């Protein structure tokens, strides 16, 4: 009997199912799922699964084009068509298809499902039980790895957009500033101290950050890699973010309040000029 897939209403063999390369589920893990069980075509605890699905969808601001009824009809059809006595029905809804970097993809949410046969453990295997290990709960505590686990970053960006901002700057449980959702953070604190958080495993080592620090050193500008709090950030004379796409961008509003009079400050301008010289050099070498 075949494992079957359902993509936005169309049923096909699972082995032939394909999704779009630009799906934000694929880029960022931006989506939700439910794995349900079906006995002879009937879905177990359907209400409970659907209630949790609704909660997850709402939390991630995903509004599928199909309602609960149409989705469960699709699941039931898939279970019936498979003919499996006991089956696992996997349902996934992603935010949709759109260019990477767009916080809100233009495409509608993508609904996919597939059905496979449930394999029961033997009585012998059940009686033998399983082995486990203990470990610290580090889900997901590795922002230094440039991984695809970007859901918290995307959710932060979404919140920023909702509040009329373009980027979100994170602080940790002690109020220490770490980095932004898709960029590193620099600030000019009292006494003309230019600071950026250190590489301690809690931030991504941005290539732009690295180039800014290197260039500053070459030009005799001191930038401290040190911790600072969000309270200090709120008092900063200048703030800017850095990333490959944004290069150096002045932050002129923080939580609705003007930073440095609401304009790019002199240190930001100077470091940006220095940064642009790297590009000029590359242009001359080409």
Ligand X SMILES: Cc1ncc(COP(=O)(O)O)c(C=O)c1O
Residues near ligand X (CB under 6 A) are 153, 179, 182-184, 204, 206-209, 242-244
Measured distance CA(214)–CA(169) in Å, rounded: 23
Could you tell me which residues are beta bridge partners of residue 197?
none
For the bound state, the minimum distance from the C-beta of residue 198 to ligand X, rounded and expressed in Å, comes to 14
Nearer to ligand X, 112 or 184 (CB): 184
Contacts of 35 (CB under 8 A, 6+ apart): 88, 89, 90, 91
Could you tell me which residues are beta bridge partners of residue 111?
93
DSSP string, 209-220: HHHHHHHHHHTT
For the bound state, the minimum distance from the C-beta of residue 195 to ligand X, rounded and expressed in Å, comes to 16
For the bound state, the minimum distance from the C-beta of residue 165 to ligand X, rounded and expressed in Å, comes to 16
For the bound state, the minimum distance from the C-beta of residue 194 to ligand X, rounded and expressed in Å, comes to 17
Q: Which of 286, 274, 162 is nearest to 220 (CA)?
A: 274
- Dihedral angle sign, alpha carbons of residues 246, 250, 252, 254: positive
Contacts of 5 (CB under 8 A, 6+ apart): 11, 12, 13, 14, 16, 17, 112, 113, 114
Q: Tokens representing 111?
A: 């609904």
| 146 belongs to the catalytic site | yes
Nearer to ligand X, 49 or 157 (CB): 157
Nearer to ligand X, 183 or 196 (CB): 183
For the bound state, the minimum distance from the C-beta of residue 151 to ligand X, rounded and expressed in Å, comes to 12
Half-sphere exposure of 242 (CA within 13 A, CB side): 24
User: Active site residue: 146, 159, 279, 281, which one?
Assistant: 146
Nearer to ligand X, 150 or 259 (CB): 150
Nearer to ligand X, 4 or 169 (CB): 169
Angle between helices 46-59 and 68-82 (to 10 degrees): 130
What are the φ and ψ backbone dihedral angles of 92, each rounded to 5 degrees?
-135, 135
Residues annotated as catalytic are 146
């Amino acid at each position: 009997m075949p494992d079957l897939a359902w993509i936005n209403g169309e049923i096909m063999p699972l082995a032939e199912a394909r999704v779009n390369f630009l799906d934000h589920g694929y880029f960022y893990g931006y989506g939700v799922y439910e794995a349900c069980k079906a006995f002879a075509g009937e879905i177990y605890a359907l209400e409970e699964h659907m209630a949790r699905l609704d909660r997850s969808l709402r939390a991630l601001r995903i509004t599928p084009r199909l309602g609960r009824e149409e989705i469960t009809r699709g699941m039931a059809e898939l279970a019936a068509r498979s003919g499996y006595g006991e089956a696992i029905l996997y349902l996934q809804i992603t935010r949709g298809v759109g260019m990477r970097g767009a916080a809100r993809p233009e495409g509608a949410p993508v609904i996919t499902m597939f059905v496979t046969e449930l394999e029961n453990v033997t009585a012998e295997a059940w009686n033998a039980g399983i082995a486990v290990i203990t470990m610290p709960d580090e889900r997901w505590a590795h922002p230094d790895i440039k991984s695809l686990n970007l859901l918290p970053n995307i959710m932060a960006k979404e919140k920023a957009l909702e509040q009329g901002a373009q980027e979100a700057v994170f602080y940790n449980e002690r109020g220490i500033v770490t980095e932004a959702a898709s960029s590193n953070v620099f600030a000019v604190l009292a006494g003309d101290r230019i600071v950026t958080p250190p590489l301690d495993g809690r931030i991504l080592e941005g290539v732009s950050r690295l180039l800014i620090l290197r260039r500053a050193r070459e030009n005799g500008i001191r930038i401290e890699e040190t911790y600072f709090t969000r309270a200090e950030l709120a008092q900063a004379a200048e703030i800017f973010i850095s990333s490959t796409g944004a290069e150096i961008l002045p932050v002129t509003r923080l939580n609705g309040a003007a930073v440095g009079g609401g304009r790019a400050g002199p240190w930001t301008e100077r470091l940006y000029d220095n940064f642009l010289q790297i590009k000029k050099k590359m242009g001359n070498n080409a």
